[in-house]
Amino acid sequence: MLKVAGLIFVAVGAAAGVALVLAPFGSFGFSPSLGTWLLFPIGLLAGQILFALGSKVETAAVLSRVIGGLLLALSAVAAVSLVLPALGVVARSGSSVSTWFVLTLAAIFGGAFLSGSGRHAHGT
């Protein structure tokens, strides 16, 4: 049950991150609420912890690597979404603060999840 809850929290956190990246472009027609800002990092961290508590070390390490890779990909998408308006490819209709937030946290968490997963999987 902890694994399922963990995966749900990870999915909610990832969806909040995507929403924060797309919000400055008016994709959803809304301004992200405080809940969206909080759900991105808290959902990912709580989901990772819940999944790890309900899993074997090897399984938790695999999920950590998958989440880390996805977060680095999200960070790259956030970086591209910051460059495209500067190049005149797309127009931004709002502030890019939420994109910078996702870029920073996704890069930090993604790197941490990828680098920390190898040590735990081998028991060192």
pLDDT tens per residue across all 124 residues of the chain: 999 999 999 999 999 999 999 988 887 777 889 999 999 999 999 999 999 899 898 888 998 999 999 999 999 999 999 999 989 898 888 888 999 999 999 999 999 989 876 554 445 4
- Pairwise CA distance, residues 42 & 88, whole Å: 34
Which residue range(s) make up the domain with 50?
A: 2-121
How many domains, the chain?
1
Give 30's Cβ-side CA count (13 Å radius): 9
